[in-house]
Amino acid sequence: MLSWPRGDDVIVVRVEGLPDHRGPYAEARDFYTDLTPGRAAINADATLSSQDALLPEAFALA
């Protein structure tokens, strides 16, 4: 579990696993679940630009 402040919110994610290699964001997001209270989980068809606004660069590059 990881959490960090984002404005007035706290982003919470559960790491589900680690990839064998560094890959694109679309693959990296399969390795975590968004558990942020009061917000629907990030879904697979959300746009990349909106996802980058929520997650630190390390997740986008995982």
2-59: pLDDT as tens digits: 999 989 889 999 999 999 999 898 888 899 999 998 865 444 344 444 555 555 555 5
Predicted confidence at residue 39, as pLDDT, reads: 67
16: helix, coil or strand?
coil
Predicted confidence at residue 37, as pLDDT, reads: 84
Contact by Cβ (8 Å): 35, 12: yes
Structure tokens at 2: 């990881």
Q: How confident is the model at residue 62 (pLDDT cuts 50, 70, 90)?
A: very low
